[in-house]
Amino acid sequence: MHYCYHDTPIGRLLLAGDNDSLRLIAFPEGAMRRSPEPGWTHSPGAFREARRQLSQYFSGQRKTFDLELRPDGTPFQLRVLKELEQIPYGATASYGEVAKRIGRPGAARAVGAANGRNPLPIVIPCHRVVGSDGRLTGFGGGIATKQALLQLEQGQAG
């Protein structure tokens, strides 16, 4: 795995993957904070396109991503991640709504667990999933980061 860092308004993100695809975006804080693993290669010039698109997103110039991604997960987790990509920029959906959309209406908690294991946050927008009452609930980068991402989108939506 190759990795590099990308400075953003929410902190320094760790990007990692192989030569062809991005496999991980990790936050600098919160439960999803990660460090490079032994054997990973620091490649400061890696993921140029991903860094460009992330910079465009944070400057309000990009609402969707067009990157080669390779997230790991169970078939259920990957199905949830695919559904998260359908939540429009500036919008939110509840865990229960996502569960219904994938044909598993009773699986809101399992959707929450899959959402929490998203290896590619921001690009696969798990921050757009909220509690059934609209409250911001757990987020791997911390609630303040989730709030900042939603505020960015809501300020730029339209």
Give the strand order in the sheet containing 41-42: 22-26, 11-17, 2-8, 41-42
Instruction: Note the pTM of the prediction, 2 decimals.
Output: 0.92
Q: Which of 43-52, 54-63, 138-147 has the lowest average pLDDT?
A: 138-147
Q: Taken in order 146, 9, 52, 43, is the CA torsion positive or negative? A: negative
The percent of residues above 90 in pLDDT, for the chain, comes to: 79
125-153: pLDDT as tens digits: 999 999 888 888 878 788 889 999 999 99
Choose, from 122, 126, 148, 152, the residue flagged as catalytic: 126
To the query of whether residue 4 is one of the catalytic residues in this protein, the response is no
86-128: pLDDT as tens digits: 999 999 999 999 999 999 999 999 999 999 899 999 999 999 9
